Amino acid sequence: NAGVMQNPRHLVRRRGQEARLRCSPMKGHSHVYWYRQLPEEGLKFMVYLQKENIIDESGMPKERFSAEFPKEGPSILRIQQVVRGDSAAYFCASSPPQPPSGANVLTFGAGSRLTVL
Amino acid sequence: AQSVTQLGSHVSVSEGALVLLRCNYSSSVPPYLFWYVQYPNQGLQLLLKYTSAATLVKGINGFEAEFKKSETSFHLTKPSAHMSDAAEYFCAVTLTGTASKLTFGTGTRLQVTL
């Protein structure tokens, strides 16, 4: 039973290029979350998606960042016109549908480390 | 809004010694609290969670944490450190009913020495 799969593990981009990060959730999980970890900081929530729906994008920067989770295929986090400040580790997590009375346990992938030159 | 504060970005203990990693939370409503561990170049792995049942929560690898409402704390402990415990540990909080949005602390890097 594969866990949350993220690729690429490492991505190098020059300023102004586009970065695409992919996340395949655990089997049976229909909810995907993206988090960003800047150097020396904790993980910051970016976006929460279900299939074909963005549920909560309150942590997404207003410009250049977008996320999708299509009916088929992985979730994609897309960063257009990258800048040096986008250099970070981007973690994807997945969960089953939220239980009625409890908290979801998020299962995290190994992360994608983006370096912007 | 909720938040967590982890005191000490780096903690060093000797093998066999007590591990104590501190986490204090701020929340306007009863929280759910989590501890995650991150080994080098890996994702975060859940150690344990508090979801308003028993205040003393036992997790994997011999770790446990106690929820203390009066102190707004959820410190992580392990009686005897092992070399394999060296990793980064994150405390996280979410509010009842908004379980998707975990708020993480800045992490504590645990070093275990011989």
What would the pLDDT profile of A86-109 be if each residue is shown by its tens digit?
999 999 999 887 665 556 678 899
Q: How high does pLDDT run on average in chain A?
A: 90
Over pLDDT 90: what percentage of chain A? 74
Region class of B23: left (phi > 0), else alpha (psi between -120 and 50), else beta? beta
* Residue B7, phi then psi, degrees to nearest 5: -85, 125
Closest CA to B49 of B33, B37, B30, B31: B33
Residue A105, chain B, CB below 8 Å: the answer is yes
Residue-level pLDDT at B96: 59
Residue-level pLDDT at B67: 94
Q: Is the pLDDT of residue A74 over 70?
A: yes
Q: How far apart are CA A107 and CA A94, in angstroms?
A: 5
Chain B residues with beta carbon closer than 8 angstroms to that of A34: none
From residue B95, give the alpha-carbon distance in Å to each of A13, A81, A94, B22, B98: 37, 35, 18, 20, 5
Over pLDDT 70: what percentage of chain A? 92
Chain A residues with beta carbon closer than 8 angstroms to that of B107: 42
**Which residue of chain B has the CA closest to A33?**
B100
Q: Is the pLDDT of residue A36 over 60?
A: yes
Give the 3-state secondary structure of A40-68.
CCCEEEEEEEECCEEEECCCCCCCCEEEE
Q: How far apart are CA B72 and CA B1, in angstroms?
A: 15
Residue A31, chain B, CB below 8 Å: the answer is yes
Q: Is the pLDDT of residue A69 over 80?
A: yes
Q: What residue ranges of chain B have pLDDT lower than 70?
A: 96-100
Residues of B with CB under 8 A from a CB of A: 9, 32, 34, 36, 41-46, 49, 51, 90, 94, 96, 99-107
Which of A4, A45, A109 is facing B101, going by the closest CB pair? A45
Chain A residues with beta carbon closer than 8 angstroms to that of B32: 102-103
Residue A32, chain B, CB below 8 Å: the answer is no
Q: What is the three-class DSSP state of A25?
A: coil
Q: Is residue B26 within 8 Å of residue B95, measured between CB atoms? A: no
- If one counts every other C-beta atom within 10 angstroms of the C-beta of residue A104, the result is 24
Chain A residues with beta carbon closer than 8 angstroms to that of B102: 35, 43, 45, 106
Q: How many CA atoms lie within 13 A of A112 on its CB side?
A: 26
Residue-level pLDDT at B40: 84
